[in-house]
Structures are given as structure tokens and as C-alpha cells.
């Protein structure tokens, strides 16, 4: 048991695939009889042709993978959040506390509890607090925590180590992982033998309260027969052998909970591996506490990375569960909650209703409200609330900003995109030059450190072009700007940067359909766009063709936001891109659009600043908990947000005017290098 018995990463891959097959068989065995999942008129079938059952030896599997309303518990009276619970992190907001309290109290039934949150809303923080509270306030003594990537698993372990000792926490690594990849502060939480990562001896392993690993490496526990089913069988068999007449209650399960972070990035098969570890045995009484399964993620961002063209493989278990009626039709689901500056209030008139088996995180602790405005409107039903204070720095008053002077800029660009020879990827020289010039300006005039600037493109060839150009003698006073982070868009998911420059690269609309079919580019890719525009903390700049972006309803909304607020700047001396943009405006392409809650609040706040003669002062902009800034600033922002929620407040039609922006031949290629990169994914650590 101590050694993995594996000689290579290929062996571990085979092990993982074998565990997936075994788990799938368990699922099929426990769902072999027929039921009608969503009412008598509908039968939901597995791809194998088998149907599900709610009356099986192990109904827990069906409840976790195909939950229905009857698996939940109805709420008949109003509840209160236990604020007196001894928190390890006292900065948790209402929704985070609600998630912790619901799972610890186990009040929602036997089905997965889902924590949905956009970037910067504290999903990982919520899971860490939940793990500690489960150990501290419930009978659960052993928790398995997983994430799809090594980096995400390391982050979880690093946060847990602040409260747990090396005797309580194990960071379980696969045998093929290089120890140089493991953060130094986690090495004491790993088990190493003969200069390899090993599984600890049985007695030692059973003493750990928390085991953190990747979804794939959870196969190690399954193969070593350290699952709930195996351990329960061993214990009951031993008790029966030594004490056949003993009538003591059955033993509790070893693994009391499974917590999965970044769950929207794991394929469903990957999620099945850790699930197989905590499945209760068929002989385990149903009236005893069942393992709790909690997932945190964002189904509106990039899903699992897979080379398969089958769309079913690119959808995570997390996203599929959120589409099930028990979640999507709940009165408190994100799509049904009215945008609010405070958590939705559950009134007695709404009862009885199911205890919500989910929480929607809405407080964003990352981005400037202007940057957050369009993602909130387009992807999160206008529910996001900005909470981070923006420091008073040279960046916030940069001469780059136009119109309303928000730190958001669209640069129309019409330079020709080109393709590398021999089936290479797409690049755009003039766009790369604009992006590098902006980075140089930020470093030179706005006192932004190189490492605080991120430049991303969805095309690998453009990434290479950007790196070669910015590290050349034309920048950095002849020595180049080597510390600017440049990489493919996918590599930045889960990361953040003070300043983000997005190169959309594509300028010829006739290649959009081939791009879409191959999953290339950022135009027509809703989730890619969401990832790109939510990385920035203080400043966001997008370079792109007006004609091409207008073909995408999501990018069209973003450009319309910039257009009506004057957040448009010129990127080339000839002004070709600006002329194309003006032509599109004359056609009415960027008129109208959705005006969201945060945009309205920004306008209300701007008007009230002017009325109180404070409009000329440098200001911070944040939520009610920002805690810094000029006296009255938070109150003014709250008032603006409240007015926006109630309509346009005191903004008259004639006061909402467009800001004036200041003027500051290839055939369809075969599978390109960009396509290969998109399929295989990228490592952000290489940036």
C-alpha cells in the first residue's frame, strides 16, 4: 500500500482511466432500474441506454449525479445564519457564511451543494472555511479535497496549512510529479520516500484530517482500496470476526465529505474519481449520516480542456448539475434573483420551498466597477457587487483614459491578420505593436511595474510575436520589457493582473466561422470572452476590429458600453481603425445595448460627485466594505447603487449623453498550431 507501484506518468494515466471505468460501472450498477426523473412524462437515459433508479442498494450515487426535488428538504420556517460560529476567517460575507452554515448544518438534503461564483468572489476562501468548520463543529473527522489542476490543489493546501499541522493535513501528489513544482512551504505536508512522492503508511494516512489532491490523483486512494466502501467492509468484517455476537452500531464512514474546487474545469469522468472514494457501501444504513459532496466553480468560464470534439466531454458535472431543475428552477437561483445591493430576502410568504442546495456568490473583491459592469450584465444576471477599493495611483488618472475617464479602453484596430507558413498560427504585427506601445506607456508614464501588466491573445502565433517584439531593443530603453506577462488566453484562467491588454488579433470576418468550428479565437466564444475581461483589477484595454467584434453579440455589447461612455481611443497614427469604428457607429451598430446596474450606479455616483463639488478630486471606488477613501465616498457609492437598482434614480435622459472619444489574401488553413494549443491547454507558470 505504501508504494504506488507505478513507474511512469503513463502508468498513472492508465490507473486514472481504469478508475474512471470502474466508477462508471458502479454508477451503472447502482442505476440499473428505471425511474422517471423529472415527472411521469419524461425519462432521462444514460448514453449506455440504461435508466436511473431511486430505489437501489446505493441511492447515494444517483442522488449525487442525478438529483431531483425529492432528494431535498423543504423549508417551512425562516432561518437565521449562525453568525456566532467560531470563524477562522472573520471577513466572510453573507453568502459565504450561508454556504458554510448550510453544509455544516446539513439542512438541504442528500444532494450536491454547489457554490457558484464569478472570478474574485471568494470561492476558494469559502471552501477552506467550510473544511475547517466541518472538522471543528461536526462529527466529520476526515475530508477529501480535490481540484482539477496541481496549482489549484496547491492553493487549497497553502491556505489550509495556516490552520492545520503536518500531522493533520496531507498534500497527496502523484509519483510522476517533480518535487520542484511543489511550493516550498508545502513540502513538509507531503509524504516522500526514496526521493519520490509516496502514499503514507496505512496508520499514518488514517490519522490525517484533510487530504488534498487532484481529481486525477484521487485514483491513488481508490486503487489502494482506501475508499469508504473498502474501509467500511474491512472494519465490519474484522468486528464480525472477533465479536460475532456484538450488536454495537455500525461504524461511521472514514471520509465524511468531498470538497471540489474549480469544479467547472473538471470533466465529468474526472469528477467521478474522487466521488468513487467517498461512495458509501451498499450495506451502509441510509438513516446514518451520508457523505457530503460540495463543489465550487463558475460554469460561465472556460470548462474542461479536452481534445475531443464531442460537446458532452466539454461539459463538467458542475455545469450539468446546475442545469437540472432542482437548481435552475429554484426561486433563489441567480437567473431568478433581482439584482440587489444586499442578499435576497427570503420572506415567509415564499414558504414552503426547498432549502437551496446552492449559494450564488455576488461580492467581487477584484475589479474596478467599470471593468465589472459588462460581465455582470451579460453573464451573471446583473447580480455582481464590487467590493474592492481602487488605490489612488497614477494609473487611475492616466492620459490613456477617454470620455468618462473610467480605466477601461477600447482601441479600434484594422491591421491585417496574417498566418504563419507551413500551417502555423495567426498573428497580427500592427496589433502587437499597439499592445507593446501601450505597455511601454504604462511603465514609463503611469508608474506601472512590468510584472503588473498582462498581455493575452487567443492565438499562439500572436503570443510569440508579442514576446519577441516587447523583449526587443525597441522597448525598455533598448533592453526590452522582459517582465511583462504574455501568454495565451486560456493560461490566465484563475489568475489576475493589475492591468490587462487583450489582443483579439482576428480582423477578417470571413475566418470567424472556421475559427468557431475549431474553437479558436475569442470572437464567438462567450466563455473565453468572460475569462479575458475578468482578469483585470484596475485597468482593462481591448484591441480589436470593430467590424469583427460587431459579429459577436457579446463583444458588440462590450464595445457599445465603451462607445456610449466615450471609452474609445486611437491606437495607430493613421487612424484607420478609428475610421472603421466611426463608420460602424454611423450604421448604428454600437447604439443601444444593455445598460446594467453597475453602469447606472457609476453614472449616478458621477452626477452626485459633481453636485457636491467633489468631481475634481482623485477618488477610490468600491463597495460598502471598502473601508478606505474620502469621507462619504462609500455612502455615495451605496446611494448610487441603490438609485440604480430602483431605476435611473435622478438621472434625466438629457444628462445621459455619449462621451466624446479623443483621437489620441489567405485560404482556410488546416489544423494550426493555435488549434493544437487550444486542445492541449497551456501552463500559466510558463508565462
Distances, alpha carbon 546 to alpha carbons 415, 419, 466, 507, in Å: 11, 21, 21, 8
Give the span between the Cα atoms of 564 and 103, in whole angstroms. Answer: 44
Cβ atoms within 10 Å, residue 273: 27
Cβ atoms within 10 Å, residue 635: 10
Give the span between the Cα atoms of 256 and 228, in whole angstroms. Answer: 9
DSSP helix/strand/coil, 316: strand
User: Which candidate, 278, 292, 277, places its Cα nearest to that of 109?
Assistant: 292
pLDDT given at position 452: 96
Return the bridge partners of 72, or none: 109
Give the span between the Cα atoms of 225 and 237, in whole angstroms. Answer: 15
pLDDT given at position 672: 45
Question: How does DSSP classify residue 374?
Answer: H
Grid cell at residue 412: 479600434
* Domain 9-79+106-242+250-361 identical in fold to domain 393-593: yes
pLDDT given at position 304: 84
Q: What are phi and psi of 601, to 5 degrees?
A: -65, -40
| Chosen CATH of 9-79+106-242+250-361 out of 3.40.190.10, 3.30.70.2740, 3.40.50.300, 3.40.50.720 | 3.40.50.300
Inter-residue contact 530 to 301 (CB < 8 Å): yes
139 φψ region: left (φ > 0), alpha (ψ -120 to 50), beta (else): alpha
E strands along 280-401, which residues?
292-297, 353-354, 358-360, 363-364, 385-386
Give the span between the Cα atoms of 374 and 556, in whole angstroms. Answer: 11
**In sequence order, which residues have a C-beta less than 8 Å from that of residue 175 and are 6 or more positions away?**
4, 6, 12, 196, 197, 198
Counting every residue written for the chain, the total comes to 687
Q: What is the pTM of this model?
A: 0.81
Give the span between the Cα atoms of 265 and 315, in whole angstroms. Answer: 9
Q: What are phi and psi of 402, to 5 degrees?
A: -120, 175
**In sequence order, which residues have a C-beta less than 8 Å from that of residue 455 and are 6 or more positions away?**
435, 436, 439, 466, 470, 484, 485, 486, 500, 501, 503
Give the span between the Cα atoms of 86 and 110, in whole angstroms. Answer: 26
pLDDT given at position 86: 83
pLDDT given at position 472: 93
Of the CA atoms within 13 Å of residue 643, those in its CB half-sphere come to: 21
- For 304-322, letters b (16+ CB in 10 Å) and e give bbbeeeeeeebbbbbbebb
Helix residue spans in 381-455 (DSSP H): 429-445
Strand order in the sheet with 485-488: 408-412, 536-544, 497-503, 453-457, 485-488
Cβ atoms within 10 Å, residue 241: 8
Helix residue spans in 540-596 (DSSP H): 546-549, 553-564, 576-586
- For 57-82, letters b (16+ CB in 10 Å) and e give ebbbbbbbbbbbbebbeebeeeeeee
Write out the DSSP string of 461-523. HHHHHHHHHHTSTTSGGGT--TTSEEEEGGGGTT--EEEEEEE-----GGGHHHHHHHT-SST
Q: Which residues of the chain are modeled with pLDDT < 50?
A: 1-3, 5-8, 30-57, 614-615, 617, 619-632, 647-673, 675-687
Give the span between the Cα atoms of 274 and 127, in whole angstroms. Answer: 16
Site of grid cell 501601450? 438
Give the span between the Cα atoms of 264 and 321, in whole angstroms. Answer: 10
Omega before 342 cis (within 30°)?
A: no
Domain ranges of the chain: 9-79+106-242+250-361, 393-593
Check the CA dihedral 401-402-406-411 and report its sign.
negative
Distances, alpha carbon 366 to alpha carbons 376, 493, 519, 537, 579, in Å: 13, 14, 28, 5, 34
The angle that helices 429-445 and 460-470 make with each other, rounded to 10 degrees, is 50
CATH number of 393-593: 3.40.50.300
Distances, alpha carbon 531 to alpha carbons 119, 294, 365, 374, 613, in Å: 8, 23, 16, 12, 38
pLDDT given at position 667: 38
**In sequence order, which residues have a C-beta less than 8 Å from that of residue 559 and are 6 or more positions away?**
410, 546, 549, 550, 590
Inter-residue contact 310 to 269 (CB < 8 Å): no
The angle that helices 9-30 and 268-278 make with each other, rounded to 10 degrees, is 70
Amino acid at each position: 500500500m505504501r508504494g504506488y507501484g507505478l513507474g511512469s506518468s503513463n502508468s498513472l494515466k492508465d490507473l486514472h482511466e481504469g478508475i474512471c471505468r470502474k466508477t462508471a460501472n458502479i454508477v451503472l450498477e447502482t442505476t440499473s432500474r428505471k425511474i422517471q426523473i423529472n415527472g411521469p412524462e419524461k425519462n432521462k437515459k444514460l448514453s449506455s441506454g440504461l435508466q436511473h433508479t431511486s430505489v437501489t442498494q446505493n441511492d447515494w450515487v444517483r442522488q449525487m449525479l442525478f438529483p431531483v426535488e425529492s432528494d431535498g428538504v423543504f423549508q417551512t420556517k425562516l432561518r437565521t445564519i449562525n453568525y456566532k460560529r467560531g470563524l477562522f476567517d472573520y471577513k466572510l460575507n453573507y453568502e459565504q457564511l450561508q454556504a458554510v452554515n448550510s453544509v455544516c448544518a446539513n439542512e438541504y438534503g442528500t444532494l450536491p451543494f454547489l457554490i457558484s461564483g464569478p472570478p474574485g468572489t471568494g470561492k476558494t476562501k469559502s471552501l477552506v472555511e467550510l473544511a475547517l468548520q466541518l472538522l471543528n463543529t461536526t462529527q466529520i473527522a476526515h475530508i477529501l479535497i480535490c481540484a482539477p489542476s496541481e496549482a489549484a490543489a496547491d492553493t487549497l493546501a497553502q491556505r489550509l496549512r495556516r490552520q492545520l499541522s503536518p500531522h493533520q493535513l496531507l498534500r497527496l501528489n502523484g509519483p510522476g510529479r517533480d518535487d520542484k513544482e511543489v511550493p516550498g512551504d508545502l513540502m513538509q505536508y507531503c509524504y516522500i520516500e526514496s526521493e519520490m512522492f509516496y502514499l503514507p503508511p496505512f496508520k499514518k494516512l488514517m490519522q490525517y484530517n484533510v487530504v488534498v489532491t487532484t481529481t486525477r490523483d484521487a485514483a491513488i486512494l481508490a486503487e489502494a482500496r482506501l475508499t469508504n466502501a473498502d474501509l467500511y467492509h474491512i472494519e465490519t468484517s474484522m468486528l464480525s470476526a472477533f465479536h460475532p455476537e456484538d450488536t454495537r452500531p455500525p461504524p461511521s464512514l472514514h471520509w465524511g465529505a468531498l470538497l471540489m474546487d474549480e469544479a467547472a474545469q473538471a470533466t465529468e469522468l474526472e469528477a467521478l474519481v474522487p466521488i468513487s472514494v467517498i461512495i458509501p457501501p451498499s450495506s451502509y444504513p441510509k438513516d446514518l449520516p451520508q457523505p457530503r459532496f460540495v463543489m465550487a466553480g463558475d460554469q460561465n468560464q472556460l470548462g474542461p480542456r479536452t481534445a475531443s470534439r464531442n460537446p458532452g466531454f466539454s461539459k463538467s458535472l458542475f455545469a450539468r448539475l446546475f442545469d437540472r431543475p432542482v437548481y435552475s428552477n429554484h426561486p433563489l437561483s441567480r437567473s431568478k434573483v433581482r439584482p440587489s445591493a444586499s442578499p435576497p430576502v427570503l420572506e415567509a410568504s415564499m414558504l414552503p420551498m426547498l432549502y437551496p442546495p446552492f449559494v450564488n456568490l455576488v461580492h467581487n473583491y477584484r475589479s474596478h466597477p467599470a471593468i465589472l459592469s459588462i460581465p455582470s450584465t451579460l453573464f451573471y444576471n446583473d447580480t455582481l457587487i464590487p467590493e474592492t477599493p481602487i488605490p489612488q495611483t497614477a494609473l487611475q488618472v492616466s492620459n490613456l483614459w477617454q470620455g468618462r475617464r473610467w480605466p477601461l479602453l477600447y482601441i479600434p484596430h484594422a491591421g491585417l491578420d496574417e498566418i504563419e507558413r507551413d500551417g502555423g498560427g495567426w498573428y497580427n504585427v500592427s496589433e502587437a505593436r499597439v499592445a507593446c506601445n501601450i505597455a511601454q506607456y504604462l511603465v514609463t508614464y503611469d508608474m506601472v511595474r512590468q510584472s503588473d501588466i498582462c498581455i493575452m491573445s487567443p492565438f499562439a502565433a500572436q503570443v510569440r510575436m508579442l514576446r519577441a517584439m516587447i523583449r526587443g531593443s525597441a522597448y525598455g530603453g533598448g533592453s526590452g520589457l522582459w517582465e511583462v506577462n504574455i501568454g495565451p488566453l486560456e493560461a490566465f484562467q484563475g489568475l489576475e493582473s493589475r492591468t490587462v491588454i487583450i489582443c483579439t488579433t482576428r480582423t477578417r470576418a470571413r475566418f470567424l466561422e472556421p475559427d468557431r468550428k475549431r474553437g479558436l479565437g475569442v470572437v464567438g466564444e462567450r466563455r473565453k470572452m468572460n475569462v479575458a475581461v475578468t482578469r483585470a483589477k484596475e485597468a482593462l484595454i481591448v484591441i480589436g476590429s470593430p467590424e469583427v467584434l460587431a459579429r459577436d453579440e457579446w463583444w458588440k455589447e462590450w464595445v457599445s458600453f465603451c462607445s456610449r461612455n466615450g471609452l474609445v481611443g486611437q491606437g495607430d497614427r493613421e487612424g484607420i481603425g478609428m475610421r472603421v469604428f466611426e463608420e460602424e457607429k454611423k450604421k448604428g451598430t454600437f447604439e443601444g445595448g444593455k445598460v446594467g446596474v453597475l453602469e447606472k450606479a457609476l453614472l449616478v455616483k458621477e452626477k452626485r460627485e459633481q453636485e457636491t463639488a467633489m468631481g475634481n478630486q482623485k477618488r477610490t471606488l468600491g463597495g460598502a466594505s471598502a473601508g478606505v477613501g474620502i469621507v462619504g465616498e462609500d455612502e455615495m457609492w451605496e446611494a448610487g447603487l441603490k438609485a440604480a437598482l430602483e431605476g435611473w434614480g435622478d438621472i434625466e435622459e438629457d444628462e445621459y449623453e455619449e462621451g466624446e472619444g479623443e483621437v489620441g489574401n489567405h485560404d482556410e488553413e488546416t489544423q494550426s498550431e493555435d488549434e493544437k494549443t487550444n486542445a492541449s491547454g497551456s501552463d500559466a507558470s510558463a508565462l
